[in-house]
Chains A and B, each alone.
Chain A
């Protein structure tokens, strides 16, 4: 069985790089190959331009934080953090100083004599982080480090982790299946599926310009409409005709051709309900369509609508809640408008 098929990425020093994907996509295996706990049958791993693929983990000088914390239960917080320094035969005074710094960094001053079982999950994870950073590794690897924490603590730790990473200027390779976490923390994200990288880019690039249906679906939320390309593109916008007769323009994620079967994706917040007839549809500057509000759900910051488009099914529309804005009600007929630039068109057939 092949867990990781073809993965290539270059990571800028001092940047926060995330491997994002569903379980079984090969993200952890990729990280383990960087760490040295899994050996690739083919390929190379370079750190600072030097190949490390043949080295055992203990010789790679990479810090690692595990989902299970892996804090040594028989050692105090101080001894846990001092562990990599003692292995490197650092002097006592230096150990004391650097462990002190590390404790301050993760804000655990005064915890040095406690045992792991006296700490909460979040505190144990901080100890693991301090321990992985104290020997100033070339790269910090993190395997779903916040997966075991509750939602609120996780959000807090995300910001703190990001802050520490910026402060120390350490290169981080981070593994997560949580797309929100990936978008919040990363400079660049690689979206993985079935052992391959689907797309690498900044969070904004991935969100605004996904190259495949999988990425559009996995990151955030998308409305998908199946259709066919009609004719040649005008100004880079392809005209797509959906099975139910709806026509709209969009940007091709990859080179397309007339007659090709495609799927188009639009984010719910890019669809805007407008009042009255809009006469610009033919110009191609704006896409429009008619629909009926089936369902309106108030979710706090926004209202989510389910809008039926007749033969072309239904789409989800997300409208921010503002006072004074007239909101459509269930049963209302509405016209939806959206930009062709925010419509991504993918060839169909791929999953």
Chain B
């Protein structure tokens, strides 16, 4: 028998492997892309269009001028960013240790703790916010306990002020911080901490020089996520804040619901979106987010 090519092994030479991969990836991305284009990009363009269009007067920048001229709008925007930053810091301070426990506890206990962390996601945010109002009100559980213990004579104002907003928002956003930080900590090889110990590092030194730096991508991702979610927060500040705790999302809602000034609401929304994007880009400059999401290890 003369030698001939082995049958059964067909090599498709029509497309280079990279090209074929590219086509496959595009096909995988197609449905999501279509959904985003129809349900996100298209309405967004409509929003931008509405923000610069006044019925009867044609295209105008009048609404943006109004935001710039009337001090209260800039104040609200400033407050929104300040509140979001505070909430982010509180989530980090509370969430980092929880994530650390999740990543280092024995698997059984860690699973239990994980359930506790994720549980709030199964309940409506409105229910949970009302629950906080019950706890923090003038005659709420917290104030009654404090009075009963003799720690205070009068009920403390815990609700309808900035403190209430911070407590409520931190509570709602904490799991996002915990889960993001945990996902990075989980990927830190325990052998590295052992290696640090074998080289003479104490527990604190091993944490400070090895664990903490390796968990930084988680901190970066978690703070960014919580901060951006905070910027658009509506329900919690609306229910738990006072008249002077208005955030930008509430302002937008008011324009839509009561004033029916949709163009002005659109302009506010566009400003919020722009500021968020600027913040994202600036943040990305500092922490290089693509590194956060690149393959670890």
Contacts and interface: CB of A to CB of B under 8 A. Distances in A.
Interface of A: 35-37, 56-58, 61-64, 66, 68, 70-74, 83-84, 87-88, 128, 131-132, 135, 141
Contact of B195 (A62, A70, A74, A88): A70
A87 B201 contact: yes
Contacts, number: 61
A73 B196 contact: no
Contacts of B194: 37, 57, 64, 66, 70
23 contacts: A36-B197, A37-B194, A56-B197, A57-B194, A57-B198, A58-B202, A61-B200, A66-B191, A66-B194, A68-B191, A70-B191, A70-B192, A70-B194, A71-B195, A72-B196, A73-B297, A74-B213, A74-B214, A83-B196, A83-B209, A88-B200, A132-B199, A135-B199
Contacts of B60: none
A94 to B, nearest CB: 15
A64 B198 contact: yes
Q: 8 tightest CB-CB pairs across the interface, nearest first? A: A70-B195, A64-B198, A84-B199, A70-B191, A57-B197, A87-B200, A58-B197, A74-B213
A58 B198 contact: yes
Given A72-B192, A74-B210, A87-B205, 12 more contacts: A58-B198, A66-B195, A70-B189, A70-B191, A70-B195, A72-B195, A73-B297, A74-B213, A74-B214, A128-B195, A132-B198, A132-B199
A37 B193 CA distance: 11
A64 B197 CA distance: 10
Main SS at interface, chain B: helix
Interface in B158-210: 189, 191-192, 194-202, 205, 209-210
Interface residues of B, number: 18
Interface in B67-104: none
Contacts of B202: 58
A74 B208 CA distance: 13
A17 B191 CA distance: 23
A68 to B, nearest CB: 5
A128 B199 CA distance: 11
Nearest to B192: A70
A233 B191 CA distance: 55
A15 B202 CA distance: 29
A63 to B, nearest CB: 7
B214 A135 contact: no
B197, B198, B205, B209, most chain A CB atoms within 10 A: B198
Contacts of A66: 191, 194-195
Contacts of A84: 199-200
Contact of B200 (A71, A74, A135): A135
Contacts of B297: 73
B196 A63 contact: no
A58 B200 contact: yes
Contacts of B195: 64, 66, 70-72, 128
A57 B205 CA distance: 13
A129 to B, nearest CB: 12
Contacts of B189: 68, 70
A72 B200 CA distance: 14
Nearest to A141: B198
Nearest to B199: A84
